[in-house]
Amino acid sequence: MTSEASPLITAAALDVALGAESLWSGAGRRRSAWRVLDVRWKLGGPPGREEFERGHIPGAVYVDLDTELAGHGEPTDGRHPLPSEQDFQEAARRWGLDDGDAVVVYDDASGTSAARAWWLLRHAGVRDVRVLDGGIAAWRDARLPLATGPAPAPIPGGLHVRFGELPTLDADAAASLAADPGAVLLDARAGERFRGEVEPVDPRPGHIPGAVSAPTTGNLDDTGRMLPPADLRDRFDALGVGSDTPVGVYCGSGVTAAHEALAMVAAGLPMPSLYAGSYSAWSNDPARAVATGNR
């Protein structure tokens, strides 16, 4: 197990944090206030800005996943390859982020898109990043206030981005991990996509040979909140994941794979390696074999 603090925050705890004038370190020095990012996004669109303007957490800044949390490349790079360091730094500064800020990210999809921002910020060296457990629905359920309309542009920040804080995989490393009997490569997509029964967006149905099906929906309770840590540990244990197991995660395009990583950290397990290109990159490379069925 790791001693890392929970990557999740409740609506009540966030409300208390936003109500404080500032945060203080153990040494008594003033720290930056919480920054809140709204990452509402759906596969195939439209962008979530209209939903943001209908109601968002006061002070939140809208983040567009397609243009700010992903790069653009060849099909073999996947549908949502990682942005460049420079592009991500420019985006994060537009959101008003500074070095030392604590950040909360949320969405309206049980954290499955907000986790992409969580992972990227952690990968970029931001230490204190949380995902609002249950997203905007949890905020509404707590009867907390919402702001409407376009948000004023934040004062630009000065965050310094340096990628490399979290482990990643390329296609060769993902294949090696899947073939290693002492390791596990988790596929976060729906089971029917893993088995190759349906494939709505990628060129070849199926999965990376040797991968294990682990849909992200299995990390959530009936309200869309993350399962308790003990339940998550039981789930990952059943998938063959222990505290010392080398683990990689992938999905369709690297977005919900970050949610699988979030669930593992919430369970107290080490951060897995993320295959950012994921199945969209793999299936666009004719040299890569695909498997169908349950194995």
- pLDDT of 21 > 60? The answer is no
- pLDDT of 27 > 70? The answer is no
Mean pLDDT value of segment 243-251 = 96
Fold matches, 8-141 and 168-282 = yes
Mean pLDDT value of segment 40-62 = 90
Give tens-digit pLDDT for 212-229.
999 999 999 999 999 999
| Beta carbons of 101 and 17 less than 8 angstroms apart | no
Q: Name which of 37, 44, 47, 38 is nearest 67 in CA terms.
A: 47
More confident residue, 291 or 22: 291
**Residue 35's pLDDT is what?**
94
Report how far residue 21's alpha carbon sits from residue 78's, in angstroms, rounded to the nearest whole number: 42
Give tens-digit pLDDT for 65-84.
999 999 988 999 999 999 99
**Residue 172's pLDDT is what?**
97
Listed by start position, the domains of the chain span 8-141, 168-282
| Beta carbons of 244 and 260 less than 8 angstroms apart | no
Percentage of the chain beyond pLDDT 90 is: 87
Give tens-digit pLDDT for 156-201.
999 999 999 999 999 999 999 999 999 999 999 999 999 999 999 9
**Residue 37's pLDDT is what?**
98
Report how far residue 124's alpha carbon sits from residue 274's, in angstroms, rounded to the nearest whole number: 14
**Residue 34's pLDDT is what?**
86
Which of 256-276 are b and which e, b meaning 16 or more Cβ less than 10 Å from the residue's Cβ?
Answer: bbbbbbbbbbbbbbbbbbbbb
Give tens-digit pLDDT for 261-277.
999 999 999 999 999 99
- pLDDT of 18 > 70? The answer is yes
Give tens-digit pLDDT for 114-168.
999 999 999 999 999 999 999 999 999 999 999 999 988 899 999 999 999 999 9
Domain 8-141 architecture: 3-Layer(aba) Sandwich (3.40)
Candidate CATH numbers 3.40.250.10, 1.10.565.10, 1.10.3210.10, 3.90.1640.10; the one for domain 168-282: 3.40.250.10
**Residue 29's pLDDT is what?**
39
Q: Which of 61, 82, 109, 251 is catalytic?
A: 251
Mean pLDDT value of segment 47-74 = 93
Confidence of residue 4 (pLDDT cuts 50, 70, 90): low
Confidence of residue 20 (pLDDT cuts 50, 70, 90): low
- Burial environment of residue 15 by CB neighbours within 10 A (0 to 12, 13 to 18, 19 or more): middle
Can you point out the beta strands (E) in 129-280? 129-132, 168-169, 184-187, 212-213, 247-250, 273-275
Reply yes or no on whether 251 is catalytic.
yes
Structure token pair of residue 139: 């905020």
- In sequence order, the β-bridge partners of residue 36 are 104
| Beta carbons of 2 and 269 less than 8 angstroms apart | yes
Report how far residue 146's alpha carbon sits from residue 57's, in angstroms, rounded to the nearest whole number: 5
Give the HSE-up count for residue 115: Cα atoms under 13 Å, Cβ half-sphere.
27
